[in-house]
Amino acid sequence: MTISNLQEVKSRITVFGQPMICRGCSHEVFIPYELYINVEKPGIGCLYAHDIAICQNCGEARHFSDPSDFDNEKGIFVWALRQYVC
């Protein structure tokens, strides 16, 4: 499951089985979003995707990335992110 597949709803998110925890209040319920930011000169249209999750307790934004990747040794794709809708 990649970030583009995460639903923008209240949920618990794990990365390699470890829960994402808010650094501000230690809660673990977030709404994930994928943001596109134009960091080049205006008009070029070069957008970069950024992953962010908003804590549903204190509102702090948590930036994260999807470390999912292909495992060459095992010959399988390892999905890192999991979403558990609340």
Q: Which residues pair with 66 in a beta bridge?
A: none
Cβ atoms 3, 85 nearer than 8 A: no
pTM reported for the whole predicted model: 0.76
Residues 22-65 pLDDT 10s: 999 999 999 999 887 777 666 677 777 788 999 999 999 999 88
DSSP readout, 34-64?
Answer: EEEEE-SSTTS--EEEEEEEEETTT--EEEE
- Nearest-angstrom CA–CA distance, 44 and 8: 28
> For residue 3, is pLDDT > 50?
no
Domain boundaries of the chain, sorted by first residue: 3-85
Give kind and range of the element (H or E) at residue 80. none
pLDDT score recorded for residue 4: 53
For residues 58-82, average pLDDT: 91
